[in-house]
Amino acid sequence: MSDPSDETRAGLVGTDLPEDEEEEEVEEEGEEAEEPKATADELVAKALVETPPAPPRVRKIDFVSRRNWYFLLSLLIIIPGIYFMVARGFALGIDFAGGTEFTVQFPASVTQAQVESAVAAQNIDGSVISTGSGGYIIRSVALPPNQQKIVEDNLRSRLGDYTLVQVLEVGGTIAKETIELALLSVVLAAIAILVLLTFRFRNVPGGWRAGFQFGGSALAALLHDVFLLTGVFAILGKGFDLKIGEINSLFVTAVLTVVGFSVHDTIVVFDRIRENLRVSQRLSFEQVVNLSIMQTAARSIITSFTVVLVLVAILVSGGDTLKGFALALLIGIVSGTYSSIFNAAPLLVVWRRLQPLR
């Protein structure tokens, strides 16, 4: 016979086992209930990591719709300049008009400002270029030998003894050749830019025709800057008879520099248009151009502003020779920034409307 206590003990054990199993089941159910919550958190974290950051907000300004006003402003500045260029010509410097050139060597203690003051007192319409270490090139209108001697003596009496290195007569023939070479350089640069940009943008929708539209618009902006710059100097030199408006070799250097800057600034805008045409196929061409202008305008303006600050400093504190050069660069860079944003890209829209591409 079995002991009752054993049965009781067995019964107790039998009754305890289901409770333990229930506890284990409850714990397992709790763990299973927690699993979906943890999985959801992981999914959210994963989504945050994989989601690309939102693009920066760009303030919406409709540049393209006001294009006629921009074109009108450019014409109001360029047309008077063209009139002065055609009717009255340019005030040519010694480099182009011909004249006398003195190369002198002063002691290091003599400053350029002192030399310029002494030259201005001669009434010879002269300019001074520093060659460093007390050396200067003094350019004036054509002077006969006796007048040259007077200028040399007056400089010696005002500034002390110096060494006269050489005296040259710059003829009009050399000046004419310089002008022709400068014009030829601008024309060749314009043709090369048109060909290069047509080839560069041939892969936009529309092929070579679209590439030619991009190149032609950039060329129009370039010519805008050249005509504006030369027109302003024609007005300053002939209209107001200012020496800073003279056309010399430094002015030609400034024009070629402006040509390069203008094209570079325009290409920045056009490159953004090309990229946006690839990724923004739902937008119209005009909307893509406007978006591209908004995305690049701040960059172009800030970059140009930093250069303008330096040029203003040179214009205020530089010598007479550098002032004309700094003014030419200042006008050209401001014009180049304006034309790349407000002329080149809107002109591209006008061209596309007149000659739609299929």
What's 236's DSSP letter?
I
Q: Do 194 and 215 contact (CB within 8 A), yes or no? A: yes
- Ranked by mean pLDDT, the top range of 170-174, 175-179, 268-272 is 268-272
169 forms bridges with which residues in the sheet?
Answer: 100
What's 240's DSSP letter?
S
C-alpha 4/C-alpha 16 separation (Å) is 18
Which fold does the domain 99-170 belong to in CATH? Alpha-Beta Plaits (3.30.70)
**What's the confidence (pLDDT) of residue 358?**
61
What are the extents of the domains in the chain?
64-91+174-354, 99-170
**What's the confidence (pLDDT) of residue 10?**
43
Scanning the chain, the segments in alpha helix (DSSP H) are 4-50, 67-87, 94-97, 112-120, 145-159, 172-200, 207-234, 249-279, 285-317, 320-339, 345-354
C-alpha 226/C-alpha 186 separation (Å) is 9
Query: Which residue did the predictor score with more confidence, 341 or 41?
Result: 341
- Ranked by mean pLDDT, the top range of 113-127, 235-249, 260-274 is 260-274
Q: How confident is the model at residue 17 (pLDDT cuts 50, 70, 90)?
A: very low
**What's the confidence (pLDDT) of residue 205?**
85
**What's the confidence (pLDDT) of residue 47?**
53
The answer, yes or no, to whether residue 138 has pLDDT greater than 60, is yes
pLDDT-above-70 percentage for the chain: 82
Supply the DSSP string of 24-90, one letter for each residue. Answer: HHHHHHHHHHHHHHHHHHHHHHHHHHHSPPPPPP------GGGHHHHHHHHHHHHHHHHHHHHHT--
C-alpha 21/C-alpha 27 separation (Å) is 10
The CATH homologous superfamily of the domain defined by 64-91+174-354:
Multidrug efflux transporter AcrB transmembrane domain (1.20.1640.10)
pLDDT-above-90 percentage for the chain: 52
Q: Side by side, which strands form the sheet with 127-132?
A: 127-132, 135-140, 99-105, 163-170
Q: Do 215 and 135 contact (CB within 8 A), yes or no? A: no
Mean pLDDT (the chain) is: 84
- Alpha carbon of 239 to those of 84, 231, 247: distances in Å? 8, 11, 14
Q: Write down the pTM of the prediction.
A: 0.75
Rounded to the nearest 5°, which phi and psi values hold at 201? -105, 20
Q: Do 274 and 288 contact (CB within 8 A), yes or no? A: no
C-alpha 201/C-alpha 164 separation (Å) is 56
Q: How confident is the model at residue 109 (pLDDT cuts 50, 70, 90)?
A: confident
For the segment 3-11, the average pLDDT, to the nearest whole number, is: 47
Q: How confident is the model at residue 51 (pLDDT cuts 50, 70, 90)?
A: low
Render pLDDT for 240-267 as a digit per residue (tens, 0 to 9).
988 889 888 889 899 999 999 999 999 9
**What's the confidence (pLDDT) of residue 172?**
65
**What's the confidence (pLDDT) of residue 281?**
81
